[in-house]
Amino acid sequence: MNQLRPTTAIVDLDALRHNFVATRAFVGPRVRVLAAVKGDAYGHGAVATARALSSAGCEAFGVALVEEGAQLRDAGVAGLVLCMGGVGRHGAEEAVRRELTPVLYDEGDAERLDAAARAAGRRLAVHVKVDTGMGRLGVPLPHYARFLDRLAHFEALDVEGLMTHFAESEAEDATFTREQLRRFKQAVATTRARGYHPRLLHAANSGAVLRHPESHFDLVRPGIMLYGEPPSPGVSLRPVMRVVTRVLFVKDLPRGASVSYGRRFVTARPSRIATLPLGYADGLPRAVSGRAQVIVNGRRCDVVGTVCMDLCMIDVTDLGEPVESGDEVVIIGKVGNVEVRAAEVATWAGTIPYEVLCGFSERVPRRHESAP
């Protein structure tokens, strides 16, 4: 079916390519760049995003799930596809079949991957993850040497990479990040002492790419910065996603009229209220109720009342020209010199731009655009 509703997320593939090239220039020619495209490329559309990045020279991609890696392979995406969440109890055979590179941190996964690789008559490259303080995935440092000794029994597995993940690389206080780096270097020394010589050491996410060049090693794993929302300054980046909709309905309300659930907003004057076909089921967080602003006719307008599942309301009383049904409204994006960024929406919602970008649901069509 053709798109009927006006709410759309427009993805600027030229901006995406620009951000990748800028990141690659920032880290230098000796460091590879793995683009994080997990979570449907942070809500931007994994297949279109990976294809655009490939055209810009990207040869490595990071996903969370085997299913996400399989989606890229089905779309013809070549190069390294790193399954950063591992393969779990049921993903070993699919990972081998799709030529994905699993992140390894569990002995049971190693056994299953080794069996699947042997059954396929091939060797499988893996990246071992060590936990240096994130406390999420990764082999704990006290058990790391034993893990490597056990790994030697799985002859179909080749340790191509060694990795860790930072807990707060974007923080002004770098004390814990430096400690994680120290622990990672300790793990590197242990790995080499056990006879492994991984050719790809990597630790840096976007924050570390920008703030901690000593963590770049052989490969970096930028995510949010590729999509134009850097966790700290350092590279000239362009926002990639623009979310727009159109006014659904306009009404004039007298002073003292309430708007939306809970009557959290009551007009203090005669007001002109526009209803938009966008709500929290689309990805506009309910938490921005009474805090957010959108752009109409080049000016900011307040979101008033409680954001509903499918709708929200804005106050257009003070606009110099009348607002009518069908007028464009920018939720995230820029009109002239007026801009609303995902980071600002995140502040209104009390969250982070990652969640805002990932939160736009499947019922918001993505339109991928690129200059001819």
CATH number, domain containing residue 245: 2.40.37.10
197, 227, 257: which is the final residue of a domain?
A: 227
Q: Are residues 194 and 66 in the same domain?
A: yes
Q: Are residues 246 and 360 in the same domain?
A: yes
pLDDT at 371: 77
Residue 311: both structure tokens together? 């709708």
Q: Are residues 208 and 257 in the same domain?
A: no
pLDDT at 1: 62
Q: What are 290-345's pLDDT values in tens digits? A: 999 999 999 999 999 999 999 999 999 999 788 999 999 999 999 999 999 999 99
168, 192, 227: which is the final residue of a domain?
A: 227
pLDDT at 230: 84
Q: Are residues 189 and 254 in the same domain?
A: no
Residues belonging to the chain: 372
Q: What are 333-356's pLDDT values in tens digits? A: 999 999 999 999 999 999 999 999
Q: How many domains does the chain have?
A: 2
Q: Of the candidates 237, 207, 234, which has an alpha carbon nearest to the alpha carbon of residue 220?
A: 207
Those residues whose C-beta lies under 8 Å from the C-beta of residue 111, and which sit 6 or more positions away, are 154
The whole-number mean pLDDT for each consecutive block of 10 residues of the chain, a chain of 372 residues, reads 84 98 96 98 97 97 98 97 95 96 96 97 97 96 96 96 96 95 98 96 97 97 95 86 97 97 96 97 97 96 98 94 94 96 96 96 94 73
Q: Are residues 220 and 354 in the same domain?
A: no
Q: Are residues 107 and 159 in the same domain?
A: yes
State the CB neighbour count (10 A cutoff) for residue 181: 22
Q: Are residues 113 and 155 in the same domain?
A: yes
Structural domain of residue 83, as residue ranges? 31-227
> In the chain, which residue ranges form alpha helices assigned H by DSSP?
13-27, 38-43, 46-55, 66-74, 92-97, 107-119, 144-151, 175-193, 206-211, 342-349, 353-359
Residues known to be catalytic = 38, 261
Q: Rounded to the nearest 5 degrees, what angle is found at the Cα of 290, between the Cα atoms of 285 and 293?
A: 75
Q: Are residues 318 and 359 in the same domain?
A: yes
pLDDT at 343: 95
CATH number, domain containing residue 68: 3.20.20.10
Q: Are residues 199 and 272 in the same domain?
A: no
204, 227, 250: which is the final residue of a domain?
A: 227
- Separation in Å, CA 77 to CA 147, 162, 352: 32, 23, 29
